[in-house]
Amino acid sequence: MDNLEKKRLIDKHSPKTKLFKNSALAFLFGGLICALGEGVFLVLTGIGAEEKTAGVLVTLIFIFAASALTGFGIFDRIAKHAGAGTLVPVTGFSNAVTSQAMDSSSEGVILGVGAKIFTVAGPVILFGISSGVLYGLIYFFAGLIF
């Protein structure tokens, strides 16, 4: 097997190993974050918080943690390996908001931070809210008919 053939073989197989590695890391980090969140939830309900309140608090705690870690530059170092593992939990949303705000501070507070902070948050909020309105319309009118 000459070098060219070897290289071709590596090229052919490396996307797959990368795919597997990325997925494994995403599973690991995503799973870890959610297990950690469940742990916090169990502690909160254990000390008497209502389940609904505890659920909201867990989300808020992770938003806070992700924002702080982003500020100190630690989040990116984790996300580089975790990929979707840190993106999909609410940590990814919080990180996107904070990093966009930080990166645009040189463009001014109003039109820099104020506008760019919504670069990722905007689409998420817009389509989340719009989906909600669509569901609300269907739910309301279905309730009138049936």
Q: Which of residues 52-71 bind another protein (CB under 8 A)?
A: 55-56, 58-60, 62-64, 67-68, 70-71
Burial profile 102-125: b = 16 or more Cβ within 10 angstroms, e = fewer:
eebeeeeeeeebeebbeebbeeee
Q: Give the pair of three-digit tokens for residue 1.
A: 């097997």
CA distance 57 to 39: 12
| CB of residue 4 to another protein, shortest distance in Å | 27
Q: Which is nearer to another protein, 13 or 64 (CB)?
A: 64
Q: List the interface residues with another protein, window 9-48 (CB under 8 A).
A: 18-19, 22-23, 25-35, 37-42
Q: List the interface residues with another protein, window 78-117 (CB under 8 A).
A: 83-85, 87-90, 92-94, 96-106, 109, 113, 117
Q: Give the pair of three-digit tokens for residue 31.
A: 């799973």
Q: List the interface residues with another protein, window 117-136 (CB under 8 A).
A: 117, 119-121, 123-125, 127-129, 131-136
The residue from 13, 73, 74, 77 that contacts another protein (CB under 8 A) is 73
Q: Give the pair of three-digit tokens for residue 10.
A: 């590596």
| Residue whose structure tokens are 């990180």 | 95
Query: What is the SS3 assignment for 146?
Result: coil
CA distance 86 to 23: 12
| CB of residue 61 to another protein, shortest distance in Å | 10
| CB of residue 25 to another protein, shortest distance in Å | 8
| CB of residue 88 to another protein, shortest distance in Å | 5
